[in-house]
Homo-oligomer: A and B are copies of this chain.
């Protein structure tokens, strides 16, 4: 495991206040694995064996029921996923697969729990992290319940735009079928939604989307900090 990787993991809010020795112990027990695209890492319903940290690439969290499937989140570096199942010693509620070739750090559940029990600063960071995860899902849920498909796409583009430097261009980091599933619509309707946004200055070229009239897009999207602001 490269020093770069270690310092990247250490910088995560979850781990930054952890005692050095505990952090080291935990890292010693961890595995760094590379997975090719479309590899399934975890399956919903299975027991949680590891806490996962995406170091490179991206991971799709998805769920299935009764023949249907939906995307719940895309996790990008450097971030953890399925912390709650680890801490509750419960089953996964979502499956996870690599979107692209990815490097993933896998920390055994027992080590996470041991550190949690013995390191108050880590415990505090866990609480903050969990509260943040909870609030993020609440916001996703509000987004889905309070907005139409087109509105959800518009707000997602504005969000990606801001995250990518706000220079008029958005690069999608996963395919459109996954974006559709994430936004709660079919791929066909995603395509149609993009067309609906054309008069609002949205030009689509493959995975590259140019936003040429941000003011108009904003009026249609009506961003709401209590839904769209990842820092709230």
Residues of B within 8 Å of A7, CB to CB, are: none
Residues of B within 8 Å of A145, CB to CB, are: 63, 70, 72, 144, 184
Residues of B within 8 Å of A88, CB to CB, are: 128, 131-132, 135
Q: Is A133 an interface residue (CB 8 A)?
A: yes
Which residues of A line the B interface, CB within 8 A?
Answer: 44-45, 63-66, 68-70, 72, 83-85, 87-88, 90-91, 93-94, 116-117, 120, 123-124, 126-128, 130-135, 137-142, 144-147, 151, 184, 222, 224, 226-227, 232
Contact A147 B116 (CB under 8 A): no
How many identical subunits does the complex contain?
2
Residues of B within 8 Å of A70, CB to CB, are: 142, 145-146
Measured CA separation A127–B113 after assembly (Å): 11
Closest-by-CB residue of B relative to A227 is B65
Residues of B within 8 Å of A132, CB to CB, are: 88
Closest-by-CB residue of B relative to A145 is B70
Contact A140 B142 (CB under 8 A): no
Residues of B within 8 Å of A44, CB to CB, are: 226
Closest-by-CB residue of B relative to A92 is B226
Contact A144 B147 (CB under 8 A): no
Measured CA separation A138–B94 after assembly (Å): 9
CB pairs A–B below 8 angstroms (30 shown): A44-B226, A63-B146, A65-B142, A65-B226, A65-B227, A66-B146, A66-B147, A66-B222, A68-B146, A72-B141, A84-B135, A85-B135, A87-B127, A88-B131, A90-B135, A93-B135, A93-B138, A93-B139, A93-B226, A94-B138, A116-B127, A117-B124, A120-B120, A126-B127, A130-B130, A130-B131, A133-B134, A141-B141, A141-B144, A145-B184
What is the CB-to-nearest-CB distance from A113 to chain B, in angstroms, rounded to a whole number? Answer: 10
Residues of B within 8 Å of A140, CB to CB, are: 141
